Structure 1
């Protein structure tokens, strides 16, 4: 029984290591540039062992994207629960996204367009997150950072469209994420801010210049 438990523990550890290593390689080189052989060689395991755990690259990519997406969401959720105001959450999320893009080859995002299962997953995630985002915006109204004369259901739809536009037009291949966030996202966000909220955004943008 102990031997079976040890095998199970080892296999789970290896599965986690495969996900972590493969995602780093995908982010460094792009998805299409990384073969299953490359992943097996990086981990010093046989290709057969790799395929026993993940039978193809799409499943491996899907599991990796889902895991790391969930980790980031949990981090933002924790910050949201523990933060005293919505502006702290927004600036944390901004820094997180910028840092992630800074260490990711743009080909990773354009390659992902070739995987319908992953695109469908993100579409579903965005649908599930929509109501939460609307609640978040209303929290900002209650805290005095967002205007109270705005239809936030429409605003949430606008930000959904903005995100899809940035990815579909591959703006990340032409501009840094700092430029995209500052010139598209922050400009749109500033429009719903009260003077109190706008002052915080302006100070943040000034400090990072």
Structure 2
């Protein structure tokens, strides 16, 4: 596969024609572009193609992002920020640490499941978006560490070294992130995060 970093900039030509686009139209276009990217990846889709398919001018697209790289990065950041907010909202009412971990990782899996394999490959191959993904993986590791520590303290989990357990989970998250743990399996990244939640709970639950 051609390196995404070499291809993502192929349509990143700035245009002097800038126009004002109202917030409602911006949101509509960002949603539509995100849908195309998540289904098809972003290295193979140029600004010319986007403008034709979305029936808007290139100047309109450049008004919401000055280049294709900026458009890709903006959509990626929006996706992870929105997903994180939804996951945190979903677990806010949950007090059981066991269910917290499960629901949190299921939320991560559901979010990742909205990405096609092509987008995922493009994302981890292009450094700016790979960095965004890495930052979010680190945040996920931190949250799981907090859940484990709370579960041990509350007696939901047996006594374990919380930092070590969380670092182990972090390695698993990184393995999913890099694709290494997906090799030889038929799991998507989203499914892998859900499986990780099940594995953690089976290993941490106290015996009756």
- Please give the TM-score of this superposition, normalised by the length of structure 1: 0.75
State the secondary structure of the residue aligned to 1:194. coil
1:180-195 alignment runs, 5 A limit: 180-181=192-193, 185-195=197-207
How has the CA–CA distance of structure 1 residues 95 and 124 changed in structure 2, closer, same or farther, with 3 Å as cutoff? closer
Q: Deviations over 1:39-89 (max 9, x none)?
A: 222332101221232122221121111112111111222233211312333
Greater shift after overlay, 110-119 or 135-144?
Answer: 135-144
Distance 1:182 1:44, change over 3 A: closer
The answer to whether 1:136 aligns with 2:147 is yes
Q: CA RMSD in A?
A: 2.8
After superposition, residues 10-159 of structure 1 pair within 5 angstroms as 10-148=21-159, 150-159=160-169
Work out the CA distance in 1 between the residues paired with 2:135 and 2:48. Answer: 32
The verdict on how the C-alpha distance between 1:173 and 1:105 changes in structure 2, with shifts beyond 3 A counting, is farther
- Call closer, same or farther: CA 1:153–1:64 in 2, change over 3 Å: same
Q: Answer 1 or 2: higher relative contact order, Cα 8 Å, separation at least 6.
A: 2
> Given the alignment, which residue of 173, 190, 193 partners 1:163?
173
In structure 2, stretches of 5+ residues that fail to align are: 1-18
Mean alpha-carbon deviation: is it higher for 49-58 or for 183-192?
183-192
Distance across 2 between alignment mates of 1:21 and 1:184: 31
- TM-score w.r.t. structure 2 length? 0.75
C-alpha distance after superposition, 1:131-151 (max 9, x if no partner)? 443222112223432222x11
Call closer, same or farther: CA 1:130–1:103 in 2, change over 3 Å: closer
More helix, by proportion: 1
Aligned residues: 188
Q: Report if the CA contact (8 A) 2:105-2:194 is conserved.
A: no
* Bigger mean CA deviation after superposition, 132-141 or 55-64: 132-141
1:185 to partner: Cα distance: 5.0
